[in-house]
Amino acid sequence: MKKFSILFLVLIMVSSLVLGCSSEGGSGGGDEEQVVAGFIYVGPTNDGGYTTAHDNGRLYMEEQLGDKVRSIYRENVPEDRGEVVRVIREMVDQGANIIFATSFGHMDGLIEAAAEFPEVKFAHCSGYQTAENATNYFGRMYQARYLSGIVAGMKTESNKIAYVAAFPIPEVIRGINAFTLGAKSVNPDVEVHVRWTNTWYDPASEKAAAEALLDEGCDVTAQHQDSTATMVAAEEAGAFSIGYNVSSKDAVPQAYMTAPLWNWGEYYLTAVQQVIDGTWTNAPYWGGMDEGVILLDELTELAPQEAAEIVAEMEAKIKSGEFDVFDGPVYNQAGEEVVKEGDSMTDAEMLGFDWFVQGVVGNIPAGN
């Protein structure tokens, strides 16, 4: 992720105006042409994970655009249609020209509000619905997941890897599958054991799930969760961990090996600049490693030394288009060939993932 100087962060904090649960940041204030960008977060900005990554992107956008933009944000907005609409109405009252909602469950409320406020631009992270004034955006995180799986597959000695997962939606399933394929590419005997929490940010539940999997013999953990709790459980158990969202090397130095990271700053900068220029469209965005919206963190000294060369080789192939994570053959849990040799999954198929690949131990709850 983009690293910001301590001085810059202090200046942003000092210049932010806190109004109850809602905070405003950015420079300027009297320019009628100034764009106001609103951000709706599912968790706190200091969660050390997913929301922190989005907020880092907001700060980067502000830094680059200066007086051209003012940002406002709301933390801990539940995935409830009515609450999302209410928060959006407040942001529109504060002058928002474009509003970003950052969690899957914010989608329905955003689409409803988009119809109510046709003059405002909307963008929803990880969803699939659009409108004339609303788009969706995400990154091909499965690419970095695959690379992190290589590290985990080479590190495990028990051949059992824990994966603490949030909700059984295509985004999360896709990540588990990519991670498993990466692990099995270097260790055919590996198993990835999945435990669902049905939460995005609940450190207690995340830690409990990780501890249960570690007790069952897993010696490496991975996660699709917003806090560091899974990694903390691994460190306390003397195991090793793959993080998510932002680097956690300093938070869990005795467990952390690497992590798939988000770099939202460039997307937010581009989207807001398009509003300024009058060129914004509702075309969905799904960028990959070649565009820099996602990356794999540097490997720490805890990662297998031989992993670095393999990861670098595969990353280059992913960026060049020579290799795709879901190139065939790909087999499901039952050992059936789902993607044939020479074929590759389409974006539509990946966006609708509802099955696990061979090597995953666990079930997708009915109805998902």
Please report which confidence band the pLDDT of residue 368 belongs to, taking 50, 70 and 90 as the band edges. Answer: low
Q: Residue 70: pLDDT above 60?
A: yes
Predicted local distance difference test score (pLDDT) of residue 101: 98
| CB half-sphere exposure, 130, CA atoms < 13 A | 9
Helix (H, G, I), strand (E, B) or coil at 299: coil
Q: Residue 18: pLDDT above 70?
A: no
CATH number belonging to domain 141-259+297-361: 3.40.50.2300
Round the average pLDDT of the chain to a whole number and report it: 91
Q: Residue 31: pLDDT above 80?
A: no
pTM listed for this prediction: 0.86
Q: At what angle do helices 307-320 and 141-155 cross, to 10 degrees?
A: 160
Predicted local distance difference test score (pLDDT) of residue 33: 78
Query: Token digits for 52?
Result: 């922190």
Predicted local distance difference test score (pLDDT) of residue 3: 34
Q: Which CATH superfamily is domain 6-139+263-291 in?
A: Response regulator (3.40.50.2300)
Q: What 3 state SS string does 102-124 have?
A: CCHHHHHHHHHHHHHCCCCEEEE
**Measured distance CA(204)–CA(183) in Å, rounded:** 27
Q: For the residues 263-292, what does the mean pLDDT come to?
A: 96
Predicted local distance difference test score (pLDDT) of residue 21: 35
Where in the chain are the domains?
6-139+263-291, 141-259+297-361
Please report which confidence band the pLDDT of residue 48 belongs to, taking 50, 70 and 90 as the band edges. Answer: confident
In this predicted model, what pLDDT tens digit does every residue of 216-240 receive, in sequence order? 999 999 999 999 999 999 999 999 9
Predicted local distance difference test score (pLDDT) of residue 139: 96
Percent of the chain clearing pLDDT 70 (strictly above): 91
Task: With beta carbons less than 8 A apart as the criterion, state whether 23 and 62 touch.
Answer: no
